Amino acid sequence: MLIQSQEMEDVLFRLFVKYGFSSVKAAVLAEIYTNNTIDGVNSHGINRVRQFLDYVEWGLVVPNAEAEMLGSFGNMERWDGNLGPGIINATKCTNRAIELAKMHGMGLVALRNTNHWMRGATYGWQAADAGCIAILFTNTKPNMPAWGGKDSRIGNNPFVVAIPRKEGHVVLDMALSQYSFGKINSYKLEGEKLPYPGGWDQNDELSNDPEKILTKERGLPIGYWKGSALSMVLDIITTVLSAGDSTFRIGQKAHESGVSQIFLCINPERFGDKDIQDKLLDEIINYTHDVEPMRPGERTYYPGERTLLTRLKNLENGIPVDDKVWQNILVLLE
């Protein structure tokens, strides 16, 4: 079914208020969940709302908690999320990293004790809109085997890079698993197989069956051993700089909570050569666009380009949403 963006945002706002969020926080949550769905990332938008509210009911997400700064070290800060909603904490810490970048050229906020930020690209777009380059990442519960191991010991720690651009920001948002588990769940919801293997089944064989992969949550690292190593490095950085929980400690809990995150922003305007920067950026994008496609009808895209196309389409035509998911949202309002 198709839902208009304003209708979705209004329904979600009322729902979040019902679950104890202030009107200010409910508005931010409703806007970001809606925007994620507009951009075609239902797995971290409308499809994730029910699970988020479950976490609220279980006491894992504290609606009125506020992230607070624990220490300041020049252009670096350490914050505690106090188990508040991940979206609210991430929005606040991205804004702070932007402020530090505007003051110092670069700014870093290390956040601990927070919750799932949903779609990491949200904060990449936020930083790029403010004219900043951003490098952002989070750790997660163990959901991938370290390369050569059998059981999950590392997280698919999402990694985001954003570069501001007048004609459309460049925004890379990727989990370190071949498919994010939100995406795998989307394929399961639609009753479809993954286009490529995405993890191991119970027989230790690579599979493209969402049900079999989700049974033990053993995702396939991107680049095999390279993705495994990158996952470990990102977990180390987030844990050390935030003094928060590592993937190991998160995995000791019944549910994923209290994760650690990094928000690094760079203000390229400090160099005073924006025209040259824009020219170089366009040169790179134009070069990758100007190539014969592998197959007829295909073309190349820079990171974030297809998101912009999806956004325009869904704003014009309405947002595609699974009927059952939407009905479940409406039931929660009753």
Q: Is 255 a catalytic residue?
A: no
Angle between helices 323-333 and 49-57 (to 10 degrees): 40
- Find tokens 């300041």 and name the residue: 72
Which among 221, 235, 143, 182 has a CA at the least distance from the CA of 33?
182
- In this structure, which amino acid lies at residue 280? L
Radius of gyration, alpha carbons of the chain = 20
**Alpha-carbon distance values, 210 to 40, 52, 214, 322 (Å):** 19, 21, 6, 17
Q: Give the pair of three-digit tokens for residue 55.
A: 């976490």
Q: How far apart are CA 21 and CA 13, in angstroms?
A: 9
Which among 185, 209, 186 has a CA at the least distance from the CA of 196?
209
Indicate which residues carry an active-site annotation: 44
